[in-house]
Amino acid sequence: MGEFDSGLWSALPPDIWERVLACLPERALCRFRSVCKGWRSLIANSSFRELRGELHQKESTVMVTNGHKVVAFYERDENKWSVIDVLFLRAAFAAIGVKNYKIEAAEGSLLAVWSASKNEKVKAVVICNPVAKTWRYLPPMVIHMAIRTVVHMVVDSETSALRMFVLGFENHTATEPLFQIYDSVLDSWRLCSYPSRIFQSSRPLSGLLYNGTFHALFYDIVAQNHVLMAYNMGEDVWADVRVHFPRFFVTGQLLVAKSRLYLVTPCKETGGQPSRYVLNLDISEVQIPAGLCTRVTELPSSVFNLLFGSSHRVSLDSWVTMVFDQSICFVSYVGQAVVHDEVADQWQPMVPYSIGKGGQLFGSSFTIDVCMPV
C-alpha cells in the first residue's frame, strides 16, 4: 500500500474505500482500522465482513503462547511465525481487580481467557480477538471453574455464535467435578449433568464436538481405565461410547481431522510405569461405532529429538497438539513444530518459533480474522 496519502483517500468515494480495505491482508487491515473512527466502524460492520469474505480468503493457521504477553501465529505465505502482544488482556482483567488469568481455549478467531487464582474473589471470563485486540466480558459461570479444566469452544464462522463446553473442578479441594455450557445466543451459562457412572472417580482429559455431538474422554481413577462418553445436549444425559483402548496412557487429547476422530497420547513412559515423563508420542484413530482405537503412527526418534532436543525428561506439559491443514501438528516448548502427512506417513518440520520463557504452553488451530466480532 505504500505511504498513506490522505488527500488521495479523501477524494475516493466510500464504496471504493470499502472495496480496497476488504482486499487488504489481516495485518495491514489492523493498521488501517486505526486511521479514523469511520474506518474502524466500517471494518466492524457485518456487511463489510461479508464483502471481505467474498474477496479475501481467511488465513487458517495455528497459534501458540506460553503466558499472558504474546501469541505467535504461523504465517504460511511467508513461512514464518509472527508474534503479537496481548497486553490488552492485562487491562481487561485489571479493570475488575484480577491479576492472574489463563488462556483456556481457542476457536475460529477467538480466545477464551479467565481468572485463574483461587485467592482472588473476583472471577471473570473474557472472549477476545487477539489480532483485532477487541474483547468483552462473558456473564459469570454458575460456579467458576479453574482447576483441571477441559475446555472446548465452537464458533460459527457465519453468525459468530459461540458455545463453550467446560469440564473441571471449582478449586483444588473440590471432590465433585462440574460440567457447564455457555451459549452466546442466550448469553448465559448452564450447569449440566456430569456422567453419573464415574461422577467422583474420574478425571476429564479431553473434549470436542464430533459429528454434531460433544464427546469427552475421562480417566476412571477407581477402575483404572479410560472412558469415552457422548453428551446429548437436548436431554442433558451422557451415554457410553464403547471403545477398546488397547493400553494404558497417562493423558490423551482428542482431535478431528478429515472428519476422522484421533487420539494423541504418550506411548512410552520412563521406567515402564505411569510417569509424568514420556519417551515418545503416538497417534491413534478412534472408530465409532466400531469401538476400535487403532494406532496410526508414532514419532520417529529423529522427530522426537527435533521437538525436544537431547532431554531425557520430557514432561507431560512440554508440547501441545493441534490440527493444521487437516493434519496433526505437534509444537514443543523449545520452539520446534512438526506436521504429520498421514498419506505419506512423513513428518514435515516447520520453521522454529520464539516467544520467550513463560508459563504453561497453549496452542490451537486458529483463523486470523480481524473482522471477527466478539
Domain topology for 58-368: Neuraminidase (2.120.10)
d(CA 261, CA 282): 14
pLDDT at 135: 95
pLDDT at 82 over 70: yes
Res. 187 pLDDT band, cuts 50 70 90? very high
For residue 315, the tally of other CB atoms under 10 A from its CB is 13
- Tens digits of per-residue pLDDT, 283-334? 999 999 999 999 999 999 999 999 998 776 788 889 999 999 999 999 999 9
Residue with the larger pLDDT of the pair 357 and 143: 143
User: Strand order of the sheet with strand 346-349?
Assistant: 319-324, 327-332, 337-341, 346-349
- Write down the domain spans for the chain: 6-52, 58-368
The set of cell numbers assigned to 154 is: 465452537
Q: Are residues 70 and 84 in contact, defined by beta-carbon separation less than 8 angstroms?
A: yes
Dihedral sign of CA atoms 165, 170, 171, 173 in order: negative
The set of cell numbers assigned to 122 is: 473476583
pLDDT at 127 over 90: yes
Mean of pLDDT over the chain: 86
Res. 248 pLDDT band, cuts 50 70 90? confident
The set of cell numbers assigned to 211 is: 459429528
Classify burial at 374, counting beta carbons within 10 Å of its beta carbon; exposed 0-12, middle 13-18, buried 19 or more.
middle
- Percent of the chain residues topping a pLDDT of 90: 53
Residues linked to residue 346 through DSSP beta bridges, in sequence order? 341
d(CA 327, CA 336): 16
Q: Are residues 254 and 262 in contact, defined by beta-carbon separation less than 8 angstroms?
A: yes
**pTM of the shown model:** 0.88
pLDDT at 1: 46
Res. 157 pLDDT band, cuts 50 70 90? confident
Res. 186 pLDDT band, cuts 50 70 90? very high
